[in-house]
């Protein structure tokens, strides 16, 4: 039985596609894992380092770092977008005391995964191209994981370190028996051969018990046969083409047939998710050469995936897909994918900012039986300080709140010094770190959600909290302590006050605490209806 493979990319979208196409679909022999699984006694003894990997583990991952890092493809990526590799290089330097080009291989194993682990429990086998310092590695991992992790570093070969984190040395600090055989034996032997750029495998029975239940959530049920397999493994190699091979080893032939259907359902789900995201990218690609290249790579990957094959052989299911690289603008597509991921992350961070602000507004309301006024005002009604100062105690900034003199204006000699202490929740992603200005502002006056002097009550919002604007991304930024908000006038066009300032997206928080990201500013009439809290207007769901 055969099913078409659509895509191995994840719903992360643009860079997910590229990672799937460039990192996850590489060549591997079609029968090696099957043969090793069938008769492990006929293969040669494992090299020294590999004897420390448990054959019954929840997860096993092996990466030929040097092969990947020095490949022409990886070099073109680093040249196209060097800053995207900087965090990786810094991470390796801080944790292992070296740089990626001086690491030959990294092997990770996790004996068992629980739903709520008290502390990390894993093993790492790192083969360096030069001598390593155990104390440097131990200090780096302690800094990363905390003192309770207590990593143990063993020198098991001249340039090879065994690192145990939260694992007993008596069990995992000793070589496995020479005749060890378990769920992951085939994947371990495939990795030990050194012909694959990456090998990953899991034993589903050692994953959290919640995944083995019959009453899985509805979205997971089509994939349940995979969670009941003995093992799932994949081999990945870097070559002139990109090819992925996945193997599922089940208990009985009937289960293999069901596992094949589950694989088909999984890749179909991922493909549909990816296609939906790509439809949005196509709308932006007209004048963007990088996005056009990303689309070319996406289309090529999907075409290659559609030609991939499933094959059932007894208790085994094999899946293979190939993507030729010739003529594909991979470096440019990678650069565009990284840019899109960064923009998506910025949009999410800004949305989280608005959620925190909305939560603080509601916590203020719960404590004071009303929302904050738009400003702290003096006895004459003159605004002195913004509402953003008033909610400081509700965003874990009570100490900063106490530094303000509430009877002085925002630009007084004392209060002006506090501008530099703007909480990060008020900073738009991508803004200069030292800029004390914010785009998060509210509409005020003439029936809007806020009034300069008096705080409003929830019961005042008769239009419904899900239909009334609380905070928006304004077109113009203002000093965060300054009481400078968006004056509402029903006779004027308010759309010019809203800003698509988060990578072309408009973000709003409503009085029910929800946050929405919009591709454009709502129409004039709809915006008026959203601003007013008791206007009685009807607002369409798809505004």
Residue 119 has pLDDT above 60, yes or no: yes
Buried b (16+ CB within 10 A) or exposed e, 135-147: eebbbbbbeebee
Q: What per-residue confidence (pLDDT) applies to 198? A: 92
281: three-class secondary structure by DSSP: helix
Residue 519 has pLDDT above 80, yes or no: yes
Rounded to an integer, the average pLDDT of 77-86 is: 89
Greater confidence (379 vs 13) lies with: 379
> pLDDT tens for residues 411-427?
999 999 999 999 999 99
Instruction: Show the tokens assigned to 15.
Output: 């860079």
Highest mean pLDDT, choosing among 118-127, 344-353, 529-538: 344-353
Lowest mean pLDDT of 85-89, 163-167, 302-306, 519-523, name the range: 302-306
Residue 28 has pLDDT above 80, yes or no: no
Q: What per-residue confidence (pLDDT) applies to 152? A: 94
Q: What per-residue confidence (pLDDT) applies to 12? A: 34
State how far the alpha carbon of 301 is from the alpha carbons of 359, 362, 537, in Å: 42, 47, 48
Confidence tier at 5 by pLDDT (50, 70, 90): very low
Lowest mean pLDDT of 13-22, 71-80, 235-244, name the range: 13-22
Q: What per-residue confidence (pLDDT) applies to 277? A: 75
Rounded to an integer, the average pLDDT of 72-99 is: 90
How far apart (Å, rounded) are the C-alpha atoms in residues 507 and 234? 41
Q: What per-residue confidence (pLDDT) applies to 200? A: 96
Q: What per-residue confidence (pLDDT) applies to 127? A: 95
How far apart (Å, rounded) are the C-alpha atoms in residues 350 and 132? 42
Greater confidence (517 vs 241) lies with: 517
The per-residue pLDDT of the chain, averaged, comes to 87
Confidence tier at 316 by pLDDT (50, 70, 90): very high
Residue 499 has pLDDT above 50, yes or no: yes
User: Using N-to-C axis directions, what is the helix angle for 289-306 and 253-284, rounded to 10°?
Assistant: 160
Q: What per-residue confidence (pLDDT) applies to 27? A: 32
Rounded to an integer, the average pLDDT of 214-241 is: 89
Q: At a CB cut-off of 8 Å and minimum separation 6, what does 239 contact?
A: 26, 27
Confidence tier at 493 by pLDDT (50, 70, 90): very high
> Tokens 């080893």 label which residue?
249
Residue 21 has pLDDT above 60, yes or no: no
> Tokens 């300032």 label which residue?
501
Q: What per-residue confidence (pLDDT) applies to 38? A: 42
Q: What per-residue confidence (pLDDT) applies to 495? A: 95
Beta bridge partners of 125: 107, 162
248: three-class secondary structure by DSSP: strand
Lowest mean pLDDT of 20-34, 93-107, 363-377, name the range: 20-34
Q: At a CB cut-off of 8 Å and minimum separation 6, what does 171 contact?
A: none
> Which DSSP letter does residue 201 get?
E
Handedness of CA 276, 277, 278, 281 (dihedral sign): positive
* E-state strands within 432-504: 437-441, 443-444, 469-479, 486-487
Give the closest residue to 436 by CA, choosing from 402, 411, 455, 469: 411
Q: What is the DSSP string of 16-84?
A: HHHHHHHTS-----SSHHHHHHH-GGGSPPPPGGGGGS-SS-SEEEEE-HHHHHTSHHHHHHHHH-GGG
Q: pTM for the whole thing?
A: 0.73
Rounded to an integer, the average pLDDT of 43-64 is: 89
Greater confidence (145 vs 161) lies with: 161
Residue 290 has pLDDT above 50, yes or no: yes
Query: Are residues 363 and 355 in contact, defined by beta-carbon separation less than 8 angstroms?
Result: no
Residue 17 has pLDDT above 80, yes or no: no
Residue 369 has pLDDT above 90, yes or no: yes
How far apart (Å, rounded) are the C-alpha atoms in residues 30 and 33? 8
Beta bridge partners of 108: 61, 124
């Amino acid at each position: 039985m055969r099913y078409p493979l659509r895509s191995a990319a994840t719903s992360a979208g643009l860079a997910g596609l590229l990672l799937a196409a460039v990192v996850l679909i590489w060549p591997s022999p079609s029968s090696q894992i099957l043969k090793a699984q069938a008769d492990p006694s006929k293969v040669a003894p494992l090299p020294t380092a590999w004897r420390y990997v448990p054959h019954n583990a929840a997860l096993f991952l092996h990466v030929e770092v040097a092969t990947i890092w020095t490949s022409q493809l990886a070099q073109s990526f680093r040249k196209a977008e060097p800053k995207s590799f900087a965090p990786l290089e810094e991470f390796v330097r801080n944790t292992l005391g070296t740089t990626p080009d001086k690491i030959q291989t990294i092997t990770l194993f996790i004996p068992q995964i629980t739903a709520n682990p008290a502390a990390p429990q894993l093993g790492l086998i790192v083969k360096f191209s030069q001598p390593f310092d155990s104390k440097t590695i131990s200090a780096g991992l302690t800094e990363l994981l905390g003192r309770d992790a207590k990593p143990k570093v063993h020198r098991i070969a001249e340039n090879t370190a065994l690192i145990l984190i939260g694992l007993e040395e008596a069990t995992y600090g000793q070589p496995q028996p020479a005749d060890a055989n378990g769920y992951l034996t085939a994947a371990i032997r495939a990795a030990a051969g050194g012909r694959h750029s990456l090998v990953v495998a899991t034993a589903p029975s050692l994953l959290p018990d919640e995944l083995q239940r019959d009453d899985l959530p509805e979205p997971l049920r089509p994939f349940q046969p995979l969670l009941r397999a003995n093992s799932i493994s994949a081999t990945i190699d870097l070559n002139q083409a990109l090819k992925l091979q996945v193997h599922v080893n089940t208990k009985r032939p009937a289960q293999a047939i069901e596992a094949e259907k589950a694989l088909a359902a999984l890749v179909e789900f991922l493909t549909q998710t990816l296609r939906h995201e790509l439809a949005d990218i196509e709308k932006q690609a007209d004048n963007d050469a990088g996005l056009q290249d990303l689309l070319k790579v996406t289309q090529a990957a999907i075409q290659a995936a559609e030609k991939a094959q499933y094959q059932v052989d007894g208790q085994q299911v094999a899946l293979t897909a190939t993507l030729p690289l010739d003529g594909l603008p991979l470096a440019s597509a990678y650069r565009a994918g990284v840019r899109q991921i960064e923009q998506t992350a910025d949009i999410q961070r800004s949305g989280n900012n608005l959620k925190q602000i909305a939560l603080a507004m509601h916590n203020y309301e719960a404590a004071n039986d009303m929302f904050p006024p738009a400003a702290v005002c003096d006895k004459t009604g003159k605004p002195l300080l913004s509402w953003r100062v008033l909610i400081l105690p509700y965003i874990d900034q009570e100490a900063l709140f106490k530094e303000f003199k509430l009877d002085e204006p925002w630009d007084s000699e004392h209060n002006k010094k506090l501008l530099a202490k703007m909480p990060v929740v008020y900073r738009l992603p991508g803004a200069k770190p030292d800029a004390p200005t914010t785009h998060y502002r509210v509409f005020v006056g003439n029936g809007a959600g806020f009034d300069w002097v008096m705080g409003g009550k929830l019961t005042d919002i008769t239009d419904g909290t899900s239909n009334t604007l609380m905070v928006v991304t304004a077109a113009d930024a203002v000093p965060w302590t300054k009481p400078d908000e968006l004056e509402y006038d029903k006779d004027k066009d308010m759309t010019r006050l809203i800003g698509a300032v988060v990578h072309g997206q408009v973000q709003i928080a409503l009085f029910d605490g929800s946050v929405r990201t919009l591709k454009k500013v709502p129409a004039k009439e709809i915006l008026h209806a959203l601003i007013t809290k008791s206007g009685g207007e009807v607002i369409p769901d798809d505004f």
